[in-house]
Structure 1
Amino acid sequence: MQPETWLLYLFAIVLIGISPSPIAMLSMSHGIHFGKMRSMATGLGSVSAALVLMMASAAGLGAIISASEYGFTLLKWCGAAYLVFLGIKLLLTKNQGQTLEVSQLKGKGTPRQLYQQAFLVGISNPKDLLFFAALFPQFIDLAAPQLPQLMILAATWAVVDFSFVMIYASMANVLAPSLKASNKLHWFDRTSGGVFLTLAAILISRN
């Protein structure tokens, strides 16, 4: 994998990681109620769920690559189109007064409980599977072995994902009031939409 390709991928997933999500809200809840150290289990649960979805996406991607190079090219364009769709959808999001609540949590907050909660939140979002299927082909070079490239993409995502879970958990008391404000959530959505559109434009221009 070329360094510039990896840097583009890193830039994209860091900006994606900044955006509020169910796992971000769960991380803040765990950080507030159970502390930063125990929230490491939350990060591991989130990473585990993401890796399972990545492997599922990679398996489907591998089958397409084996079947036809043209199919892989088609998948890349479909993936870019999906990123454009996400971007436009987020840009057109209207401020409807929605809020994100950091709820009270049940249980004693054992590492096992926190891990299970994070894993279930991550694995229960089928949109992530579709997202990985759209994102990964944009950074795969068919002229090079695919497995090492997929391992690099997965490992990078795991590090960034775990880092953001810990950041949210560590700064929960500061971030929670800010992200609960509906007007700020609205602008988070628009910023995320701009990120997706910019990413899609860059990836299409590179094809």
Structure 2
Amino acid sequence: MTFDTWLLYFFAVLLIAIAPGTMAVLSMSHGIHYGKSRSLATALGSVTSALILMAASAAGLGALLSATEYGFTILKYCGAAYLIFLGIKLLLTKASAKGLDLQHIKGKGSPKQMFKQAFLVGISNPKDLLFFGALFPQFIDITAPQGPQLATLAITWAIVDFSFVMLYASMANVLAPTLKTSNKLHWFDRTSGGVFITLAAILVTREG
């Protein structure tokens, strides 16, 4: 994996992490109710679930590569098509009057409870498994050892994920009111959709 490839991956992950999803809502909820320090458990739960899903995606990738000579090419184009599908879906979403809901917190806010809540939110979303399976092949150099490349992708994602969970938790009192209106969330959806489509287009047209 070249530095340029990693930089493109980092930029994509950064933009994806900015868009507030379920984990961002949970992070802000924990930040508001329990504070920044205890939200470390939330970040660790999010990262742990993501690493497990990434490992499962990598295992599926390895199985496909060993099963067919053209498995990588097939997976790369299928993954790009999935990213484009996600992008179009986000671009076509309509603004909701609902906005963010930070009132669903349960429990006393022990680190164990917060870790469990974040882990279950992350691991219970099968779409993330498909997403990692679609994203990883776009950045892997098939001619180089795959283990170090997958480790680099996973560690990069984990650092960005941890950082943004803590950012949302630390700035919850500022971010929550700002994102409470549906038009702001709709803007994030459109931005994310554009990122997915642009990313897929760039990666498919790149050589190597």
Instruction: Provide, for residues 124-149 of structure 1, a one-character-per-residue CA deviation record: whole Å limited to 9, x for no partner.
Output: 00000000000000011110000110
Aligned to 2:184: 184
State the distance in 1 between where 2:146 and 2:19 align. Answer: 29
- Cα distance in 2 for partners of 1:96, 1:104 equals 19
TM-score (norm 1): 0.98
Other-structure match for 1:55: 55
Note the C-alpha offset of 1:107: 1.6
Map 1:4-43 → 2, pairs under 5 A: 4-43=4-43
Q: Which residue of 2 aligns with 1:126?
A: 126
Structure 1 residue ranges, 4+ long, deviating more than 3 angstroms after superposition: none
Give the Cα separation in 2 of the matches to 1:179 and 1:206: 36
User: Is 1:135 paired with 2:135?
Assistant: yes
Instruction: Specify every segment of 5 or more residues in structure 1 that has no aligned partner in the other structure, as ranges.
Output: none
User: What amino acid is aligned across from residue 167 of structure 1 in structure 2?
Assistant: L
State the one-letter code of the partner of 1:11.
F
Separation in 1, partners of 2:111, 2:7: 33
User: Shift in Å at residue 103 of structure 1?
Assistant: 1.4
Give the C-alpha shift of residue 98 in structure 1: 3.1
Q: In structure 2, what residue type is equivalent to 1:179?
A: L
Q: Offset at 1:22?
A: 0.6
Counterpart of 2:107, as a letter, is: G
Aligned to 1:107: 107
Once superposed, what is the RMSD of the aligned Cα atoms? Answer: 0.9
* Map of 1:68 onto structure 2: 68
- Give unmatched runs, 5+ long, in structure 2: none
Number of residue pairs matched by the alignment: 207
Partner of 2:45: 45
Q: CA deviation at 1:104?
A: 4.6
User: Which residue in the other structure is 2:86 paired with?
Assistant: 86
Partner of 2:148: 148
Give the deviation of 1:190 after TM superposition. 0.6
| 1:93 Cα deviation from its structure 2 partner | 1.2
Alpha-carbon distance in 1 for matches of 2:69, 2:140: 12
